[in-house]
Amino acid sequence: MSTFRFRALEATLSRQPVETTAPAELISDYFGENVFNQKSMMEFLTEEAYESVMEAIEQGTRIDRKIADQVASAMKAWALSKGATHYTHWFQPLTGRTAEKHDSFFDPVGNGRSIERFEGDQLVQQEPDASSFPNGGIRNTFEARGYTAWDPTSPAFIMGGTLCIPTVFVAYTGEALDYKAPLLKALGAVDEAAVEVCKFFDKNVTKVNATLGWEQEYFLVDAALFNARPDLVLTGRTLFGHSSSKGQQLDDHYFGSIPDRAAAFMRDFEAEALRLGIPVKTRHNEVAPNQFECAPLFEEANLSVDHNQLVMDVMEKTASRHNFRVLLHEKPFAGMNGSGKHNNWSLATNTGVNLLSPGKTPKTNLRFLTFFINTIKAVHDHADLLRASIANAGNDHRLGANEAPPAIISIFIGSQLTKVLNDLEAEVKGGKMTPDQKTDLKLRVGRIPEILLDNTDRNRTSPFAFTGNKFEFRAVGSTSNCSSAMTALNTIIAKQLQTFKKDVDAIIQRDKVKKDEAIFQVLREYIVSSKNIRFEGNGYSDDWVKEAEKRGLSNVKTTPYALGAYLKEEVLSLFEEFNIMSRVEVEARHEINLENYQMKIQIESRVMGDLAINHFLPSALRYQNQLIENVQGLIAVLGEEAGREAGAASISLIKEVSERVNTIRKAVHDMTEARKKANAIEDMEAKSKSYCDAVIPFFEIIRYEIDKLELIVEDDLWPLPKYREMLFTR
């Protein structure tokens, strides 16, 4: 075995188990202990400041400077009592992960004395240099400076001795440079629009929160084996590797007993997450070997997004203590399931109602139908934007690859609700309804909760599925910041609900009918006009691809093309109308996403070329030389003819190696030329499309040949850990 690979395997196999540091106490004893939550606020804040912060959280009001000083002072006291020494504004730049710059509380005051200082000014605003974060050209047009501003709706927390304050990150000229700023605006927009619609049913509703429960999938790989794979280290996925003889075909991993080493890791990262107030609740093995999932209870969407960003960070940090590496990539291993991040989404009122949960009376069920059908209509009208919101280089491997929802956006609602919608469509007619019709409808609507009680329909192949009391957006990628999908979804829902309100009011005016009748009529129109997006069958099938095409649904398979939806006039004006993002901001984001895609593919292509030429080809040639020696030896011993006959197998392998090596050499050369051409393109959209169309096709050619070589080259000579070693070595 190559010494490199041998050392990696040896390191792995000789590992001592890592003791878990998870506490033995009850979770409820330490849950949220590192969060400046309501409990610690009550303890450390004056009543006035407490009320003010709570109002900001619940009603979105501003916190004035005087109160900010009080909050800062309380936060400092709390943080110092927990042993914190530093503070940071924690934000989510468009790199996709989180950023922080730590400052010490320590402040010299002369005469060799010092104090711990943290005031309202430092809490409310900081000025990190924006020029090193992606800004999509905003920096060129405007100024390089940016600032972070406190988001009081997400509580501060302590991680690694640092007080972290969740913030938005904006350019000095006001353009958002992060994920949080547009998300908060989209959540505000959906709140406003949903409250208006709720008033049709209940005047007491004054606030509607979008709720999000994500499910994070990931792989664990031993750190030594990970480090022996330059492709994993540099790109997060394996660019080569023949599938293992045993993969996931026995279905023996899903929900199986969690291996001890993985379980110890989970206990540790979950304990840390729970201390940070993240309500992680569920863990299980996923379909592929060494693939797992972690899911919390759902929370208000902004908080939930922060918690997901934090969890990814905590997982990575904890993993290295356990000599693991966490793979968050959407497709770390070919031929095996990839990882997603289902976004379970709903809307909740301040009166404690889940708007996507059918109630007990016809009235509450009409409310349910209203939000349910409006969601379908919104997704129907803006499917391309939703598709764009989940586009990234990694997710291109999942969507449409027969193991994840296809790139076609459709909605699954189950047979029972399909019947409800079909009946409504048939029964509601324009104009005034007869009393009989009304009674009929009420009865039908009244039956919804019973129907849903035994609605166990699940469709794993749908990108957007109704699951009883929420929708599950299943096409989100495992590395993604959920904000991108949540901003798009909540914006289109806001727009749709606003339209609905207008449509209902117009019918009440026009036809002089009661509110309920008007609602039914509008809903019926939506049922009809959004029917195309509903699909109950197998989303993985080829038939669906054909059927979707007939229906006129988009099937955009790759990122640079999918992202184009952001620049459609209707999308630009939608974001503008709700003051979520200006044109400049959307265009900048589009540019950043394209650039990110292009750079990822460029890195993958380089790594691929390097490994092919300086890792795999030399191994293959060394093996070929052994074969040549073997044949020469046989000829020396047996004579030319008999030697060749005896060495027939070696001779055929020698030829096969030569053919494959030559194909690889040529493909790497051609790929490099394609890259050069793409690099010369100025326009980012054209450039990333060139990477997609002209560079990526070589990946498959090169990989195919190398994976074949892996099967014939002597195992000792193979330079990188194989799939079976990474996926099954415990």
Binding residues (CB under 5 A) for Mg ion: these are: 342
384 binds, among Mg ion, ligand ADP, none (CB under 5 to 8 A by kind): none
Single out the residue of 344, 374, 461, 521 in contact with ligand ADP (rule: CB under 6 A).
344
Does 78 sit near ligand ADP (CB under 6 A)? Answer: no
In angstroms, what is the minimal distance from the CB of 726 to ligand ADP? 27
Q: How many residues bind ligand ADP (CB under 6 A)?
A: 16
213 binds, among ligand ADP, Mg ion, none (CB under 5 to 8 A by kind): ligand ADP
Nearer to ligand ADP, 344 or 530 (CB): 344
Nearer to ligand ADP, 167 or 461 (CB): 461
- Which residue's Cβ has the minimum distance to ligand ADP? 213
Does 126 sit near ligand ADP (CB under 6 A)? Answer: no
* Rounded Cα gap, residues 553 and 236, in angstroms: 32
Locate 436 and state its tokens: 């009989």
298 binds, among ligand ADP, Mg ion, none (CB under 5 to 8 A by kind): ligand ADP
Does 226 sit near ligand ADP (CB under 6 A)? Answer: no
From the list 170-178, 466-474, 566-574, 690-698, the region that binds ligand ADP by CB under 6 A is 466-474
In angstroms, what is the minimal distance from the CB of 661 to ligand ADP? 47
- For residue 575, which of 181, 307, 31 has the smallest C-alpha distance? 181
In angstroms, what is the minimal distance from the CB of 459 to ligand ADP? 11
* Rounded Cα gap, residues 516 and 502, in angstroms: 14
Give the sign of the dihedral formed by CA 195, CA 196, CA 202, CA 206: positive
The residue whose two tokens read 């304990």 is 271
295 binds, among ligand ADP, Mg ion, none (CB under 5 to 8 A by kind): ligand ADP
Single out the residue of 470, 675, 687, 703 in contact with ligand ADP (rule: CB under 6 A).
470
Nearer to ligand ADP, 2 or 469 (CB): 469
In angstroms, what is the minimal distance from the CB of 213 to Mg ion? 8
Does 608 sit near ligand ADP (CB under 6 A)? Answer: no
- For residue 489, which of 475, 503, 505, 504 has the smallest C-alpha distance? 475
635, 644 contact by CB (below 8 A): yes
Does 211 sit near ligand ADP (CB under 6 A)? Answer: yes
In angstroms, what is the minimal distance from the CB of 145 to ligand ADP? 38
| Count of beta carbons in the 10 Å neighbourhood of residue 42 | 11
Nearer to ligand ADP, 390 or 702 (CB): 390
Compute the residue count for the chain. Answer: 730
* Rounded Cα gap, residues 323 and 117, in angstroms: 38
Nearer to ligand ADP, 308 or 323 (CB): 308
Dihedrals φ, ψ of 405, to 5°? -55, 150
Does 148 sit near ligand ADP (CB under 6 A)? Answer: no
**For residue 159, what is the enclosing H or E element?**
strand 157-159
The residue whose two tokens read 């590797």 is 241
Does 36 sit near ligand ADP (CB under 6 A)? Answer: no
Task: Give every CB contact of residue 191 below 8 A, 6+ residues apart in sequence.
Answer: 60, 207, 208, 209, 210
In angstroms, what is the minimal distance from the CB of 282 to ligand ADP? 7
Locate 169 and state its tokens: 């990150």
297 binds, among Mg ion, ligand ADP, none (CB under 5 to 8 A by kind): ligand ADP
In angstroms, what is the minimal distance from the CB of 38 to ligand ADP? 20
* Strand partners of residue 93: 178
| Count of beta carbons in the 10 Å neighbourhood of residue 31 | 18
Write down the H helix ranges in 248-328: 260-275, 301-321
Locate 228 and state its tokens: 């022996």
Task: Please list, residue by residue across 309-321, b when 16 or more beta carbons sit within 10 angstroms of its beta carbon and e when fewer do.
Answer: bbbbbbbbebbee
Does 582 sit near ligand ADP (CB under 6 A)? Answer: no
Nearer to ligand ADP, 295 or 407 (CB): 295
In angstroms, what is the minimal distance from the CB of 281 to ligand ADP? 7
CA distances from 116 to 40, 44, 70, 102, 292 (A): 20, 17, 15, 14, 43
Contacts 24+ apart (CB under 8 A), 401-405: 401/331, 401/338, 402/540, 403/337, 403/338, 403/540, 404/337, 404/338, 404/340, 404/474, 404/475, 405/461, 405/462, 405/463, 405/464, 405/474, 405/475, 405/539
328, 467 contact by CB (below 8 A): no
Single out the residue of 162, 216, 346, 364 in contact with ligand ADP (rule: CB under 6 A).
346
* Rounded Cα gap, residues 597 and 605, in angstroms: 12
From the list 149-157, 342-350, 417-425, 556-564, the region that binds ligand ADP by CB under 6 A is 342-350
Nearer to ligand ADP, 295 or 726 (CB): 295
| Count of beta carbons in the 10 Å neighbourhood of residue 142 | 17
* Strand partners of residue 284: 293
- For residue 193, which of 410, 388, 375 has the smallest C-alpha distance? 375
Does 213 sit near ligand ADP (CB under 6 A)? Answer: yes
**Angle, vertex CA 725, rays to CA 722 and CA 730, nearest 5:** 160
- Which residue's Cβ has the minimum distance to Mg ion? 342
In angstroms, what is the minimal distance from the CB of 342 to Mg ion? 5
Does 49 sit near ligand ADP (CB under 6 A)? Answer: no
x/- track of binding to ligand ADP for residues 296-335 (CB under 6 A): xxx-------------------------------------
Locate 513 and state its tokens: 């009918």
226 binds, among ligand ADP, Mg ion, none (CB under 5 to 8 A by kind): none
Single out the residue of 269, 345, 526, 566 in contact with ligand ADP (rule: CB under 6 A).
345
Does 414 sit near ligand ADP (CB under 6 A)? Answer: no
Single out the residue of 164, 212, 482, 702 in contact with ligand ADP (rule: CB under 6 A).
212
From the list 165-173, 295-303, 397-405, 650-658, the region that binds ligand ADP by CB under 6 A is 295-303
Single out the residue of 170, 181, 232, 295 in contact with ligand ADP (rule: CB under 6 A).
295
* Rounded Cα gap, residues 8 and 1, in angstroms: 11
Does 490 sit near ligand ADP (CB under 6 A)? Answer: no
x/- track of binding to ligand ADP for residues 430-449 (CB under 6 A): --------------------
Does 38 sit near ligand ADP (CB under 6 A)? Answer: no
Single out the residue of 85, 354, 554, 672 in contact with ligand ADP (rule: CB under 6 A).
354
Nearer to ligand ADP, 126 or 344 (CB): 344
* Rounded Cα gap, residues 203 and 487, in angstroms: 27
In angstroms, what is the minimal distance from the CB of 17 to ligand ADP? 30
In angstroms, what is the minimal distance from the CB of 476 to ligand ADP? 13
- For residue 468, which of 302, 379, 374, 354 has the smallest C-alpha distance? 354
Question: Which residue type does 15 have?
Answer: R
Nearer to ligand ADP, 474 or 722 (CB): 474
* Rounded Cα gap, residues 394 and 235, in angstroms: 10
- For residue 664, which of 601, 620, 623 has the smallest C-alpha distance? 620
Give 246's DSSP letter: S
Q: Which residues bind ligand ADP (CB under 6 A)?
A: 211-213, 215, 295-298, 344-346, 354, 467, 469-470, 472
